[in-house]
Amino acid sequence: MYKIGIIGERDSVLGFMSLGFSVHEVSGADEAAGVLHKLVSSGEYAIIFIIENLAERLSGEIEASKYHELPLPAIISLPGQSGNTGYGLAAIKDAVRRAVGADIVFND
């Protein structure tokens, strides 16, 4: 049995407590990176949601750690309280561009 974690600033993640997610409040990207590595290496989490503004700043870090190539956990960005930055869709777009060599899904 695995847990679902969520990393983000307090206002964005508070509500997820009621869902039963394991909520990790952070105040900045550096702290978030530390928490992320801790959660991944604990091996207890199958999904780790990260609020977009942090996910964007951690993208280099996540790339370097090759977390996307492990079968678990799934590291997924979600929009936060402050609004949707479109980073989540941009990340998929990026994956498509990497795989196909051209953007053929989102060009409408």
Partner 1 sequence: MAQLRVNPTRMELKRIRARYDTARRGHKLLKDKRDELMKKFLDIVREDKVLRERVEAGLAGVYRSFAAASAVIGRQMLVEALIMPGREVALDVEYRNLMSVTVPEFEAEILGDGGAAVFNYGLAFTSGELDASLRELAALLPDLVRMAELEKAVQLLAAEIEKTRRRVNALEYIIIPQYLETMKSIRMKLEENERGNTTRLMKVKDMMIEKKLMSKRKEAEAE
76 sits near partner 1 (criterion: CB under 8 A)? yes
Near partner 1 by CB under 8 A: residue from 28, 37, 84, 107: 84
Q: Which residues of 74-106 are buried (b: 16+ CB within 10 A; e: fewer)?
A: ebebbbbeeeebebbeebeeeeeeeeeeeeeee
| Closer by beta carbon to partner 1, 10 or else 38 | 10
Site string for partner 1, 27-66 (x = CB under 8 A): -------------------xx-x-----------------
Single out the segment in contact with partner 1 by CB under 8 A; choices: 12-20, 27-35, 53-61.
12-20
Helix 52-65 vs helix 87-100: crossing angle, to nearest 10: 30
Residue 57, both tokens:
């700043």
Q: Least CB distance from residue 31 to partner 1, whole Å? A: 19
30 vs 76, which CB is nearer to partner 1? Answer: 76
- Beta-carbon count within 10 A of 59 CB: 16
